[in-house]
Amino acid sequence: MTDREPAEAPFPLDSTADLVADLEQEGFLEPSALYPRGDVPGAVVLAFLPQTVHAVGAREGSRVSRTISDVLEPRPLYEREHKGVRVGWCYPSMGGPHTAMVMEELIALGVRRIIAVGSAGVLRSELVMGHPFVVTSALRDEGTSGQYLLPAPVVEADPVGVRACREALVEAGVGFSAGRTWTTDAIYRETRGRVQRRMDQGCAVVEMEAAAMMAVARYRDVHFGQILFGADSLAGEAWDSRAWPTAADVHEAMFWWAMDAAVRLGELTAS
């Protein structure tokens, strides 16, 4: 006799058939049932720049369109006319899960075009502080995208969204780079070995939301583009903050380029 616990049976993983079936089913909390369509701008900028979001929201010509509840923390959705087009913007908070919730509510309300803008850690030393970076794909090292897409290492960006971001920056006369980002849930687990592997896999920057946002946009069939800017650096032997949180002039410039991209995205999808 032994008091040893019997070995547990192997835990069954979801099969591909299970995952396909899941994606075909509505969720218990379907956003369209929770948030009926409303009077919202067709294009919205998700700006991971809270001070800039509220500063521009307080200026003449801006107004609060409505409150976004996102279940956890109510926040204002601002709007104004930009280049003759009604464009909204809000701060969605950090991280893929929370940002996905904000996107879901906006899409249910009627938003069909989304541009995201924010900072990213750079993995290449030539990406200086404030350098704009258009996201063309994201390495999926997070959890949210797996609830919207079948497993795959990378999600490709919406080509129309990429074009809108590129053309907005070209029109503004701004130099920029484009390429792959690494999306992670764990900002404090960006180890030297993992950073090197992600560089070898073609990632130039790292952030916490891109893969999730691309997945939600694809699943809900809305257009999406993203502009990041070089912030802190993981390209050297030690982390360099480069004082990016206090670079208010960079934040403001990036915000308006994203607003330009939202207008351009509308023009591209209307034709």
Beta strands in the chain, from DSSP E residues, in sequence order = 43-47, 63-68, 75-82, 85-90, 113-122, 132-141, 154-156, 177-184, 203-207, 223-233
Q: Which helix (H) or strand (E) holds 119?
A: strand 113-122
Per-residue pLDDT of the chain (271 residues; tens, 9 = 90+): 456 666 666 778 888 888 888 888 898 989 999 898 989 999 999 999 999 999 999 999 999 999 997 667 789 999 999 999 999 999 998 999 999 999 999 999 999 999 999 999 999 989 988 899 999 999 999 999 999 999 999 999 999 999 999 999 999 999 999 999 999 999 999 999 999 999 999 999 999 999 999 999 999 999 999 999 998 889 888 888 887 666 788 899 999 999 999 999 999 998 6
